[in-house]
Amino acid sequence: MNIIIIIFALVLMQNVEPLKDKNQKDTVIMKELTKEEKRVLIDKGTELPFTGEYNDNKAEGVYLCKLCGAKLYLSADKYNSMCGWPSFDDEIKGAIKRQIDADGIRTEIMCANCGAHLGHVFKGENHTLKNVRHCVNSISMIFKPTKEVAIFAGGCFWGVEHLMQQQKGVISAVSGYIGGTVENPTYKQICTKETGHAEAVQITFDPTLIDFETVAKLFFEIHDSTQEGGQGPDIGPQYRSEIFYTSESQKEIAEKIISELKGKGYDVKTKVTSATTFNVAEAEHQDYYETKGTEPYCHTRKKIF
């Protein structure tokens, strides 16, 4: 069955030259399709309205072709047309190929990179100023968010924040508190060492520019993960080493990195914990070293990967 699916896909891709646009993949990536994916992507079927995974998706990101991974649409161009399928009033330049549908009336849209069936395009409905509606099957796409959040505790948050926000792909780094039992804690309360909180930094990054593994490895290179109960001269539970994951994928990657470090001989003390409420620290703790114009006293980067 898998051989038949691949043959169908190859037939569709005949005479379709890979795009050279920098936003597209220039090689076709074959994947194993489910029966329903084949029905839509290869046999040009349609999923039932209001059943697709992305019909109500409002997250920021980019939509890729399910078959080859080429970029198709940006979330900024998605709108609610109330038709039951994801709707876009624009496409990424060069991403979409059009042809008259088999019914001789509608215009079919396909991935220009591999020829996979996406849906149909309509004009003149006056839903948006662009007056165009790309009606796309959710099952024909994969959504990749342009923002992901990760939370790291590795000693004084001033230094972690300072070094993290210099990394390309990091959108923002915010100092705060997490992992304790007191609601809306203050810095003064944290310093009593009785709230259970850690000084931490919430990192928002663009996963199309940098992945979680890269961010996590940077975290291990800017602090001493083998020190327990503090970091450098800063001693206390609030200065502990801990990764607060926001997804199962982050958890798996963090644990894999720790296992790798232990294999290198590092006695890693870093804990991996599911993220709870992150409380933003007071204004005077944000962008501390940028404001002061100095470098961290207890955080420097040491290459270990």
Which residues are catalytically annotated?
A: 135, 156
DSSP per residue over 92-144, as a string?
-TT-EEEEE-TTSSSEEEEETTT--EEEEEEES--SSTT-EEEEE-GGGEEEE
For residues 38 and 72, the answer to whether their CB atoms sit within 8 Å is no
Phi and psi at 85, nearest 5°, equal -130, 155
Structure tokens at 108: 């079919």
- Tell me the pairing of strands 241-245 and 271-274: parallel
- Sign (positive/negative) of CA torsion 156, 159, 162, 165? negative
- Using alpha carbons, list the distances in angstroms from residue 105 to 83, 120, 133, 136, 140: 19, 11, 16, 17, 22
Phi and psi at 47, nearest 5°, equal -75, 160
Mapped onto helix, strand or coil, the DSSP state of residue 258 is: helix
- Exposure of 190 in the CB half-sphere (CA atoms within 13 A): 25
Rounded CA separation 298/305 (Å): 20
**Residue 258: how many CB atoms within 10 A of its CB?**
20
